Amino acid sequence: MSFDSMKVSELREVAGNFGVDLEGVVGKSAILTRLGEEGITYEMYEAFNKAESVDPKEAGFEVDAGKRFAKGGPPTRHDLMLVKMERNNFTYEANGYIFTKEHPFMAMTEEEAQHIFDYEEGFRPATPNEVKEYYS
């Protein structure tokens, strides 16, 4: 099997999962060309689909809140800031936070948000109303 046997909607999903921008790309052959330009192969797609979902706690990615918030305990909701990922990536980790296409919003301290804004691209502040509208 190969990308050639897939429908345009499936190819668009593949591109989205790998963070390939298809803005202005129309048609199956153009999508196949763009995937090729980005180095995405069918073998990569198969490996991505066969990968097992892993529980972060079972994989040893447990966050110790005592260490993370050593300065005065965990922040209150008034100390937090909402950040939205606007990247095309299916998932993206930034400063210890994992953003996904389904859940592009994260609440974090202003210092953590500023670190992301300074060192990462495709992130911006979000409003509470924007989050409510997205999830409703």
User: Cα–Cα distances in Å, from 69 out to 2, 34, 65, 129?
Assistant: 48, 43, 6, 27
Q: Is residue 81 part of a domain?
A: yes
Clarify whether residues 131 and 79 are in a common domain. Answer: yes
Q: Is residue 87 part of a domain?
A: yes
Q: List, for residues 58-72, the tens digit of each pLDDT value.
A: 666 555 554 455 555
CA–CA dist 8, 14 (Å, integer) = 10
Give this prediction's pTM.
Answer: 0.46
Clarify whether residues 72 and 130 are in a common domain. Answer: yes
Clarify whether residues 43 and 84 are in a common domain. Answer: no
Does residue 121 surpass a pLDDT of 90?
yes
Clarify whether residues 72 and 115 are in a common domain. Answer: yes
Greater pLDDT, 71 or 9: 9
Clarify whether residues 36 and 76 are in a common domain. Answer: no
Clarify whether residues 120 and 70 are in a common domain. Answer: yes
Tell me which H or E stretch contains 94: strand 91-94
DSSP bridge partners of 91: 100
Total of domains in the chain: 2
Can you give the residue range of the structural domain that contains 77? Answer: 65-135
Q: Is residue 26 part of a domain?
A: yes
Clarify whether residues 91 and 37 are in a common domain. Answer: no
Q: Is residue 55 part of a domain?
A: no
Place of tokens 């046997």: 5
91-117 mean pLDDT: 90
